[in-house]
Amino acid sequence: MTLRDRLFNVAKAELMDAARKLKTSAQHLVNEVRPGADDPELEAIRTEIRREEAARRRGERAQSRAAAAVDVPADIRTFYANLELPIGASADEVKAAYRRLMRRYHPDKHALDPARAKVATEVTQQLRAAYDGLIAHLERQGPR
């Protein structure tokens, strides 16, 4: 690496650091102003900052899930599909989806109709197998 490249990288890093500090300062100033202030411009800035942060977080989650989707075995993909989750969902998301779907399809909710109760039993067995398989898979992978 030449001296010119090194100087360029140092200058670039300093500019990026200064831009990050400026953005943090702007966010801090916007948050410091009284929340009850009726300034439409300030509220527009706050809204824009919130949208940018939400978009950034969504992008990060999408990237991590896309990276996690590579080389996922077919049975694990099926488990995610059964729980109506995107590939790469966390253990907490798996648990929440399992509980939500069990509330919807539990056989006791359909006890008055034997045909529905039979289908609900089969669905809950599939949900339980998907939940157990995903939790075991995520435990094998370890924390990310």
Predicted confidence (pLDDT) per residue in 115-129, tens digit: 888 999 999 999 999
Average pLDDT over residues 71-95: 89
Q: pLDDT digits over 8-47, tens only?
A: 777 778 877 887 777 777 666 666 655 555 678 778 778 8
pTM attached to this predicted model: 0.52
Query: How many angstroms separate the Cα of 110 from the Cα of each of 57, 64, 68, 99, 116?
Result: 40, 39, 37, 17, 6
Task: Give the phi and the psi of residue 135 in degrees, each rounded to 5.
Answer: -60, -45
